[in-house]
Structure 1
């Protein structure tokens, strides 16, 4: 059975790195934030936004019920978003469709260009879907790792990859 699934798994892994690249122009755009409430601590560099939070930078959009923005002298270092679900989306390149990610918690480490999605994590790109208890992807290295939950609950990593149209 493993040998039959191996080609499918390899195709899925080859398709997933496209999820982890972003338009280079996004980093050059201003970060726009809207929320119902904001609380800034200048000593720690942490700002907490609550209530329908939306952060937009180019094609990147982060949404959540609560978002923490961690800054230092170099700029934004980390964004933690929680919600039911928290959402992250970004267009990998001009030629590719928008990638959307969902989970109850997202931790975006800006310098590492890495997003960790936990608790009912899901990534959608066009009609393909990738789910697990935790998904970690590094945009810069095009590296995706997905994890199921512990053996007792039995949640496994799931992928649905649609056939390419046109007989290819």
Structure 2
């Protein structure tokens, strides 16, 4: 199994900026991307990382079976992580516990500053847990909306 570490992907820094205010020092840390395979098409602005994908940057940790990054002019437009489940962990500023999230699909939209967790989505922090088929986080407004995933019987569960 090939292991690819791509340090120059610092442009991906900030691609998963915390479901709460992430440790500000994380942005200044080097980012490491590991995958079994990487397909990078600069002309189309699409990079696809497959097989045991792991991203670390400071306290940020993201795992997925596949990560697709869409960019334009060197800036990330959209990033999609897919897994069984894809997982996310990061320490918020001023907090002692990490935010943890998982879903079968995680989508990040840079321009809109939004993260959408789809299918078996769950967010945990400080003993609180949100579960739904769809969890939407507006980073700029620091607002979480859960539910509305379209699955009959899907209900938001908060513990």
Same fold (TM over 0.5): yes
User: Is the CA contact (8 Å cut-off) linking 1:69 and 1:80 kept in structure 2?
Assistant: yes
Name 2:78's counterpart in structure 1.
Answer: 78
Higher-Rg structure is 1
Show structure 1 runs of 5+ residues with no match: 1-17, 161-168
1:110 Cα shift? 3.3
The CA RMSD measured in Å over matched residues stands at 2.0
- Aligned pair count reads 142
- What does 1:125-136 correspond to in 2, within 5 Å? 125-136=125-136
Show structure 2 runs of 5+ residues with no match: 1-17
User: Is the CA contact (8 Å cut-off) linking 2:22 and 2:92 kept in structure 1?
Assistant: yes
2:147 pairs with 1:156? no
User: Is the CA contact (8 Å cut-off) linking 2:134 and 2:146 kept in structure 1?
Assistant: yes
Q: 1:80 to 1:137 in 2, by over 3 A?
A: same
* Higher helix content, 1 or 2: 1
User: Is the CA contact (8 Å cut-off) linking 2:31 and 2:55 kept in structure 1?
Assistant: yes
Name 1:28's counterpart in structure 2.
Answer: 28
User: Is the CA contact (8 Å cut-off) linking 2:33 and 2:53 kept in structure 1?
Assistant: yes
Secondary structure (helix, strand or coil) at the match of 1:140 reads coil
Q: 1:89 to 1:143 in 2, by over 3 A?
A: same
Name 1:60's counterpart in structure 2.
Answer: 60
2:25 pairs with 1:51? no
User: Is the CA contact (8 Å cut-off) linking 2:41 and 2:47 kept in structure 1?
Assistant: yes
State TM-score, norm by structure 2: 0.80
State TM-score, norm by structure 1: 0.76
User: Is the CA contact (8 Å cut-off) linking 1:20 and 1:140 kept in structure 2?
Assistant: no
User: Is the CA contact (8 Å cut-off) linking 2:122 and 2:129 kept in structure 1?
Assistant: yes
Q: Give the whole-Å Cα distance in 1 for the aligned partners of 2:19 and 2:73.
A: 30
Name 1:163's counterpart in structure 2.
Answer: none
1:43 Cα shift? 0.8
User: Is the CA contact (8 Å cut-off) linking 2:147 and 2:154 kept in structure 1?
Assistant: no
User: Is the CA contact (8 Å cut-off) linking 2:131 and 2:158 kept in structure 1?
Assistant: yes
Name 1:119's counterpart in structure 2.
Answer: 119
